[in-house]
């Protein structure tokens, strides 16, 4: 068969189209698995600002992937045109959390697998991935890091404040230091021994310390 035969109408008429039952079943399963991905994303989210629209996008992306693959597998001409159309699409939305990339690929993979008719693989694979993400997200390999911002009047008060922080924390490291006339500002990273943060009140009442601020933040750290 030559390349021109592909575009003849008699060839297109012989292509087996997707039945209504297959379309309904694939889209229903993609919606359910997309909702499952959404719930896992909501359960494992550990960023600063939770975005519900991203979770909805995961559901939509699963269904869209299923729809695209169903169309591609049912019509050769449509598949060629869709490849050309998708090749010029550019996405400019910034991914704020590294784990969000895994959820995006997960949604696309589920949609593709469902459209290919591998329903058991899509279901059991999604369950396994979801359980793995929940286990890894809830497992704490290190204590939560904090940033302590301290303002002191002189060198003596700075030394006392640092000694106090080292006694009340597991680890204390200076990240930045700003010195002006009559003012020294320290930005330190600390790891607390427990969840008690009352020590910051004691630190702020020390002589020579004008203010003390404790801020929690997220990031990738080596143990």
Query: Domain ends where: 83, 110, 138?
Result: 138
Cβ contacts of 141 within 8 Å, gap of 6 or more = 223
Residues 17, 87 within the same domain: yes
pTM above threshold 0.85: no
Res 83: pLDDT? 56
Query: Domain ends where: 122, 138, 154?
Result: 138
Can you give the C-alpha Rg of the chain in angstroms?
A: 28
Residues 109, 18 within the same domain: yes
Residues 25, 97 within the same domain: yes
Res 166: pLDDT? 85
Query: Domain ends where: 114, 138, 162?
Result: 138
With a cut of 70, say whether residue 148 has pLDDT above it. yes
- Summarised one tens digit per residue, pLDDT across range 82-124 is 555 555 555 556 666 777 888 888 898 898 888 888 888 988 9
| Whole-number percent of the chain with pLDDT over 90 | 6
223, part of any domain: no
52, part of any domain: yes
Residues 177, 123 within the same domain: no
The count of structural domains within the chain is 2
What separation in angstroms does the CA of 111 have from each of 45, 84, 108, 116?
A: 22, 20, 5, 9
Q: Which domain holds residue 16?
A: 4-138
Res 108: pLDDT? 87
Asked whether 210 and 138 are in contact (CB, 8 A), the reply is no
Residues 101, 62 within the same domain: yes
Q: How far is CA 38 from the centre of its chain?
A: 11
Geometric angle at alpha carbon 192, from 188 and 197, rounded to 5° = 90
Residues 110, 150 within the same domain: no
- Mean pLDDT, residues 31-60: 83
Asked whether 149 and 177 are in contact (CB, 8 A), the reply is no
Residues 13, 91 within the same domain: yes
Res 72: pLDDT? 74
Residues 59, 167 within the same domain: no
| Ranges 26-40, 84-98, 131-145, 166-180: which has the least confidence | 84-98
Residues 152, 78 within the same domain: no
Res 103: pLDDT? 87
**Position 31 confidence tier, pLDDT thresholds 50, 70, 90:** very high
Residues 77, 118 within the same domain: yes
Res 61: pLDDT? 87
With a cut of 80, say whether residue 6 has pLDDT above it. no
Residues 127, 202 within the same domain: no
């Amino acid at each position: 068969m030559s390349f021109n035969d592909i575009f003849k109408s008699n060839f297109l008429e012989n292509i087996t189209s997707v039945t209504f039952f297959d379309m309904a079943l694939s889209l229903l399963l993609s919606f359910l698995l997309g909702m499952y991905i959404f719930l896992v994303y909501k359960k494992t989210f550990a960023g600063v600002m939770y975005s519900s629209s991203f979770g909805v996008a995961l559901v939509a992306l699963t269904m869209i992937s299923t729809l695209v693959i169903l169309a591609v597998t049912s019509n050769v001409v449509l598949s060629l045109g869709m490849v050309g159309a998708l090749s010029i699409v550019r996405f400019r939305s910034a991914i704020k959390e590294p784990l969000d990339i895994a959820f995006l690929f997960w949604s696309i993979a589920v949609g593709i697998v469902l459209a290919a008719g591998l329903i058991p693989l899509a279901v059991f694979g999604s369950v396994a991935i979801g359980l793995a993400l929940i286990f890894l997200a809830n497992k704490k390999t290190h204590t939560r890091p904090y940033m302590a911002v301290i303002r002191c009047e002189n060198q003596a008060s700075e030394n006392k404040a640092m000694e106090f922080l080292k006694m009340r924390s597991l680890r204390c490291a200076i990240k930045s230091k700003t010195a002006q006339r009559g003012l020294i500002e320290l930005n330190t990273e600390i790891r607390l021994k427990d969840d008690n943060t009352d020590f910051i009140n004691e630190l702020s009442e020390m002589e020579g310390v004008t203010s003390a601020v404790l801020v929690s933040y997220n990031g990738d750290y080596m143990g």
